[in-house]
Amino acid sequence: MKNLGIKITGCIIAASVSLMATGPRVTASMFTDVKNEIVAVEAPKLYSMQQSNGGVVFEIVTAALKTQNETATLTTYPIQKMVDYYLTQEKVLGSIGRVKEFSAEDKKGNILLPVSRVQQQDYWILFNVKNADAKTIAKKYMEGITTILNNGQYHAILEKYEGKNSLSAGDIKAFKAQWKKELLKK
C-alpha cells in the first residue's frame, strides 16, 4: 500500500512536470489587476517598489483608502518624465511627491491633497482628474485620512518607519490642523 502511494505521487509529479513543459507558464502577472495605479519617482523608504508596503508615504495612502474599501498599487520610475507620461497619457489615478516636483500642468485642475510630513518635507498625493475615478477616490481618501488620524493608525505608520518618539504630539497636531484646512478648502 505504501508502495502504491509512492507510485501515485510519482505519477502526479510526472503529470504536472509534463503540463509545465507543454502548457503556457502561469505567472503572477496573469492575475495582477492593476487598479488605482499611483505613480511616482522612486524615493527609497518614502515611496518605493522595493519596500513591501511601498514605503511610509505610500502606506499612509493605502491605509487611508483601505478604510474606505479601496486599494491602490504603486509603480515607481527613475524619471519624472515617465510619471508625467502615465498621468497625461495613461490617465493613471494619481501620483505622490513633493509639491515642487509636480509641474504647473500636473497641478492644473487636478486634486492635490497632503499625505504627511516626513523628515521636514511635505508629501502630497495628486489625484488625476483625467482618470474617471479620481474625484470619487480623492473623496474617499479624505475620509480615510480623517479616520486613520483619529484612530491612531496614521501615527503608528509614521512611528513604524521613523522610530518611536520620532514624532512629537505637535507634529501630529500640526498635520491635523493642515488637514482640517484642506478639508475646508474642498
Contact residues toward another protein (CB under 8 A) are 27, 29, 32, 34, 42, 49-50, 75-82, 85, 88-90
User: One-letter amino acid identity for 112?
Assistant: L
Cβ closest to another protein, residue 79 vs residue 177:
79
Cβ closest to another protein, residue 2 vs residue 81:
81
Note whether 129 and 92 are within 8 A (CB).
Answer: no
Please state the φ and ψ torsions of residue 124, each to the nearest 5 degrees: -130, 160
Least Å from the CB of residue 81 to another protein = 6
Cβ closest to another protein, residue 2 vs residue 33:
33
Cβ closest to another protein, residue 58 vs residue 154:
58
Alpha helix (H) residue ranges in 44-168: 56-66, 80-88, 104-107, 134-151, 153-162
Least Å from the CB of residue 130 to another protein = 13
Residue (of 28, 26, 27, 58) closest to 45 by Cα position: 58
Least Å from the CB of residue 22 to another protein = 14
CA distance 86 to 176: 31
Least Å from the CB of residue 79 to another protein = 4
**Residue for grid cell 505613480:** 39
